[in-house]
Amino acid sequence: MVEDLNWAIGGEAGDGIDSTGKIFAQALSRAGRHVFTSKDFASRIRGGYTAYKIRTSVDEVQSVVDRLDILVALTQRTIDENLDELHEGSAIIYDGERSWDADIPEDIMGVDVPLKSLAEDAGGSIMRNVVALGAACELTGFDVEYLDESLEKRFGGKGSQIVENNKEAARLGQEYVRENYDLGDLGYDLETTDNDYVLLNGDEAIGMGAIAAGCRFYAGYPITPATDVMTYLTGRIEEFGGHVVQAEDELAAINMALGAARGGARSMTATSGPGIDLMAETFGLVATSETPLVIVDVMRSGPSTGMPTKQEQGDLNMTLYGGHGEIPRFVVAPTTISECFWKTVEAFNYAEKYQTPVYVVADLSLAVTEQTFEPETFDMDEVEVDRGKLVDEDDVDEWLDAQGRFRAHAVTEDGVSPRAIPGTTDAAHMSTGLEHDELGRRTEDQDDRVQQVDKRNRKVETAKEEETWEYRDFGDPDADTLVISWGSNEGALVEALDYLEDDGVDVRVISVPYIFPRPDLSEEIETADDVIVVEANATGQFADVIEHDALTRVKRINKYTGVRFKADELAEEITTKLTEEVPAQ
């Protein structure tokens, strides 16, 4: 009995691959099964191969594997692209009536379903993908009623006739397979449960986290794979008194967000590589004017326009060091989709408590991947809003100088100054990107300069002490092999532990969600025999940072093909690394 199913639908961009995949994923989620999805997409709107993959199990799933059990192939290329992952016993659903002659590999069951004709019978050829979903239900023994619920959710807004037609299309697909194929030996058992899961991707989780944290203003400029954050917020943030502006470019986006933050709103912008470069000019202004701002960078393959629809973790240095001069900042990097939510909430609190730019660094794999969660994972009652040293009319006096002027950049022990928003009586003040004194006025005085630089940097020191910069720990805590990771690699690594255990390799995995400030790992590194840093870039940007902190060399696993790490692949790579020498000191 196969309980863990890997399913995919593939075709040309414009074939409705995404929405079809999502309908099936939602049906599985509604059936109380865990789902983890991934997407292969090219950077074009029509034409070009695209696929939506689903891994589903009753147990939690958090990565992709090199195995495909059922493939809905709308084109020959879909079959060719996935040959490696198909295995004996896999099935391919295809439409033999279409002009291409499906070349189905030996050992693999070809399920020829007249998708288009059946869809027409149900009311329109547009529903051919839904016919395929019905066929897939029959192949896997999955109750088509869950699919009905998903279709209702998807098409409910378009009227009951459309919903009924789609349900009929699914039925026709199901019946066709039942009548024409003997499924005796496929043997799937897609157990259902009473759990009500929610299914969402990282961009959506970031957007949801922002609203939960009280973000009211968002300005952005469309860019893959960050656009979904803006799409999510649009139409939702308004319900909570907020607003989204599609700016003319990233320079405008970050400056609008900064302006709104000066106005006192919790404010955010999100972008990807090329956009983060454009925003870099303003990083320093955010820090120097001591404005709380959350800047999200959803990384994709660079440099330049690189591979816009492919995975990479190549912007770490940009967020950690980007901008001229020395800029105090925080960098947090969610390692899972649920962390995309929680780290965004945290980011807003850090931003306001420390009046600094806070970067939330996610990657394409987190952003576009959907995963199922218990709804309590996002328990809104647990969200806390800490606005830091926001002063109002009552405590403004404390911060006035002898002439009654507000000391917006007062030099304090913890480095954090009072913050007064417009409208606060007697606190009118100016802020600037120029070096300034306590009042915010331009200065080139050496003492002022040093005091203000130290003050701003002291905020980071305070935060290092006051906040907990933890890491997530997996595997065997006493293992000799320590694997360190950041970003979306965590899921695949955690699953790789199972493969490694089967081979008798004990490994401890540390997944780090804080890039700066970050946990001190020197002790963990010292007690391990082998230290391997895993990241989706070519040069090992996080490994560099780790080596710097621990004053020792580490081994590196780097992947920059544009494709995310897979669990089985990582297990193999780790085993190979263990036989390698540590690089020379």
Partner 1 sequence: MSSDVRFTDFKSDKQPTWCPGCGDFGTMNGMMKALAETGNDPDNTFVVAGIGCSGKIGTYMHSYALHGVHGRALPLATGVKMARPDIEVMAAGGDGDGYSIGAGHFVHAVRRNVDMSYVVMDNRIYGLTKGQASPTSRSDFETATTPEGPKQPPVNPLALALASGATFIAQSFASDALRHQEIVQEAIEHDGFGFVNVFSPCVTFNDVDTYDYFRDSLVDLKEEDHDPNDYEAAKQVVLDGEKEYQGVMYKNENSVPYHEQHGVTEDMSDLPDGAPEGAMDLVREFY
CB of 369 to partner 1, least distance (A): 14
CB of 451 to partner 1, least distance (A): 19
> Which DSSP helix (H) or strand (E) runs through 485?
strand 481-485
CB 289: neighbour CB atoms within 10 A? 22
Residue 266 touches partner 1, criterion: CB under 8 A:
yes
| Rg of the chain, C-alpha, whole Å | 26
CB of 352 to partner 1, least distance (A): 10
Subset of residues 72 to 101 that bind partner 1, contact rule: CB under 8 A: none
Residue 544 neighbours by CB under 8 Å, 6+ apart: none
Subset of residues 484 to 503 that bind partner 1, contact rule: CB under 8 A: none
Residue 294 touches partner 1, criterion: CB under 8 A:
no
- In terms of CB distance, is 293 or 574 closer to partner 1? 293
CB of 132 to partner 1, least distance (A): 24
Q: Which two tokens stand for residue 230?
A: 């803006």
Among 16, 17, 30, 41, binds partner 1 (CB under 8 A): 30
- In terms of CB distance, is 5 or 35 closer to partner 1? 35
- In terms of CB distance, is 184 or 241 closer to partner 1? 241
How many residues of this chain interact with partner 1, rule: CB under 8 A? 72
Establish how many alpha carbons lie within 13 A of residue 396's alpha carbon, considering only the half-sphere containing its beta carbon: 16
Subset of residues 499 to 538 that bind partner 1, contact rule: CB under 8 A: none
Residue 433 touches partner 1, criterion: CB under 8 A:
yes
Among 12, 40, 95, 204, binds partner 1 (CB under 8 A): 204
Residue 437 touches partner 1, criterion: CB under 8 A:
no
How open is the CA angle 135-142-567, to the nearest 5 degrees?
100
Residue 198 neighbours by CB under 8 Å, 6+ apart: 29, 372, 373, 374, 375, 377, 378
- In terms of CB distance, is 20 or 255 closer to partner 1? 255
Residue 497 neighbours by CB under 8 Å, 6+ apart: 474, 475, 507, 509
CB of 375 to partner 1, least distance (A): 5
CB of 263 to partner 1, least distance (A): 3
Residue 562 neighbours by CB under 8 Å, 6+ apart: 301, 307, 310, 311, 312
- One symbol per residue from 391 to 410: x for binding partner 1 (CB under 8 A), - otherwise; what is it? ------------x-------
CB of 443 to partner 1, least distance (A): 11
Residue 25 touches partner 1, criterion: CB under 8 A:
no
What is the longest distance spanned by two Cα atoms in the chain? 90
**Under 8 Å between Cβ of 319 and 359:** yes
Q: Which two tokens stand for residue 516?
A: 């700066």
Subset of residues 361 to 380 that bind partner 1, contact rule: CB under 8 A: 375, 378, 380
CB of 347 to partner 1, least distance (A): 15
**Under 8 Å between Cβ of 200 and 208:** yes
- In terms of CB distance, is 129 or 372 closer to partner 1? 372
Residue 381 touches partner 1, criterion: CB under 8 A:
yes
Residue 416 touches partner 1, criterion: CB under 8 A:
no
Residue 281 touches partner 1, criterion: CB under 8 A:
yes
Among 66, 196, 503, 580, binds partner 1 (CB under 8 A): 196
Give the interface segment with partner 1, choosing from 16-24, 92-100, 263-271, 446-454 (CB under 8 A).
263-271
Give the interface segment with partner 1, choosing from 121-129, 298-306, 423-431, 543-551 (CB under 8 A).
423-431
CB of 249 to partner 1, least distance (A): 7
Its sign, for the CA torsion 519, 523, 526, 532, is negative
**In which order are the strands placed within the sheet that holds 330-332?**
243-246, 215-220, 266-271, 293-299, 357-363, 330-332, 514-516
In degrees and rounded to multiples of 5, residue 312 shows phi and psi of -170, 155
Its sign, for the CA torsion 320, 324, 326, 329, is negative
Subset of residues 221 to 260 that bind partner 1, contact rule: CB under 8 A: 236, 238-243, 245, 247-249, 251-253, 255-260
Residue 116 touches partner 1, criterion: CB under 8 A:
no
- In terms of CB distance, is 293 or 463 closer to partner 1? 293
Q: Which two tokens stand for residue 221?
A: 């400029």
Q: Name residue 109's beta-bridge partners.
A: 91
Can you give the length of the chain in residues? Answer: 585
- In terms of CB distance, is 183 or 434 closer to partner 1? 434
Q: Which amino acid is at 224?
A: T
